[in-house]
Amino acid sequence: VKPKTKSPTSKTTTSMTSTSTAVLPDDAALLGDQLARWFAGAARDLPWRTDRTPYRVWLSEVMLQQTRVAVVVDYFLRFVTRFPDVGALAAASEDDVLGLWSGLGYYSRGRNLHRAARVVATAHGGQFPSTREALRALPGVGDYTSAAIASLAFGEAVAVVDGNVHRVLMRLCADETPIDTPAGAAKTTMRASALVTSSSTPATINEGLMELGALVCTPRSPSCGSCPWRFSCRAYAHHTPEQYPVKARRTARKALRVACVVVVDGSGRVWLEKRAARGLFGGLWEPPGQIVDVVDDDMTVSARVTDTWHALLVARRIEANLAGVAPVVVTRTLTHRDLRFDVVVARVVGEVDPSGSDGVGRWFARDELHSVGTSTAVRAVFDAALGEVHSPRLV
């Protein structure tokens, strides 16, 4: 939405003079007041905004990294119902935690969540540390999460910078510094810090910035007409909000092709194996699969896929005839990967005990598949191969 009017020119009293480095286009305390007033009227009623314990702030902020609010709400409610406090989470098994995390993506978050809960339970007597520096020592708690917990749960006047905050502040200042560079990161942090340290309610400033980015100052078609900062915003004045933020690099994705066999036994159970704890999808369950290297020889990729299916079965001493079975293809785009699964269903006769595989494997009944820790990609593989037995929990 292109702004129809230019901002008034009469608001120059504090313009670019609030500090010697001209951090913000208006007085930080004034901008903070405007933001806090807007937040009081516009903030969404989200479950982690009530009963604001450090545990609930931590859990929600870890989930909200990389995942949309609408998706997180359901997962958050399920987590706090099953694990109402950090002690309950620490007492759970990793399989249970990853099972509940299933479908949220970025599974190292779920593994670190569980490890951090155990550290809080054992080394801190079940109480979260209350300073940013102490929080940062917990597994999976970095710059962002430590700042978010310190600010939102403990009121520390520290800037919480996520993608929303970058966008809002780069637009406010019409700043073309790429946000994926140290200079861009430093500028946003400096501006957000100026706002939070000038306010008596730093938590509201941090959350207000994120909320403004989520509701008004959106990546496309921002609603500048309802923005509390429209008369200070440089990008609005220039009719160019969508030109910010600038990024230096585009994300390069690596193409991965995986040959995958969904093994089903005579009673309809599905054979799954657990991945090693570290790396992509670590600790999650999946059907036997292997990356098919695209190498430069005379074998076509599809012949290599077929070969790999057979090799996967042979390695587990599973006898199945794949001739005449129609394969299905499932694709998934992750931040750094383009995944393609070539999937075939192998129906084995009677009771079978696959052996000889590297991973830890076992049979799962169909009705167990929805609660086991799997990636969204593997859920899609189940759906495609087994016919919607495993539709995602979230629509």
What residues are labeled active site? 61
Q: What are phi and psi of 258, to 5 degrees?
A: -120, 125
Closest CB 145 distance from ligand ADE, rounded Å = 10
Q: Which amino acid type is present at position 80?
A: V
**Nearest-angstrom CA–CA distance, 206 and 147:** 10
**Residue with nearest beta carbon to ligand ADE:** 64
**Class of residue 263 by CB neighbours under 10 A (exposed 0-12, middle 13-18, buried 19+):** buried
Closest CB 214 distance from ligand ADE, rounded Å = 5
**What is the 8-class DSSP label of residue 248?**
S
Q: Say if residues 123 and 135 touch (Cβ distance below 8 Å).
A: no
**Binds ligand ADE (CB under 6 A): choice among 156, 162, 175, 286:** 162
Of the pair 64, 292, the CB lying nearest ligand ADE is at 64
Closest CB 58 distance from ligand ADE, rounded Å = 11
**Nearest-angstrom CA–CA distance, 38 and 142:** 29
Question: Which residues lie closer than 8 Å to 188 by C-beta, 6 or more apart?
Answer: 161, 165, 166, 169, 170, 179
Give the contact letters, 63-82, x = binds to ligand ADE (CB under 6 A), - = no.
Answer: -x----x-------------
**Nearest-angstrom CA–CA distance, 75 and 293:** 36
Size of the site for ligand ADE (CB under 6 A): 8
Of the pair 153, 237, the CB lying nearest ligand ADE is at 153
**Nearest-angstrom CA–CA distance, 261 and 326:** 12
**What is the 8-class DSSP label of residue 243?**
G
Q: Say if residues 160 and 77 touch (Cβ distance below 8 Å).
A: no
Residue 20's region, left for phi above 0, alpha for psi from -120 to 50, else beta, is alpha
Of the pair 214, 260, the CB lying nearest ligand ADE is at 214
- Please give the residues from 196 up to 215 whose contact with ligand ADE meets the rule CB under 6 A: 207, 210-211, 214
Closest CB 309 distance from ligand ADE, rounded Å = 42
Q: Is 381 in the site for ligand ADE (CB under 6 A)?
A: no
Of the pair 68, 250, the CB lying nearest ligand ADE is at 68
- Please give the residues from 25 up to 64 whose contact with ligand ADE meets the rule CB under 6 A: 61, 64
Of the pair 210, 270, the CB lying nearest ligand ADE is at 210
Footprint of ligand ADE (CB under 6 A): 61, 64, 69, 162, 207, 210-211, 214
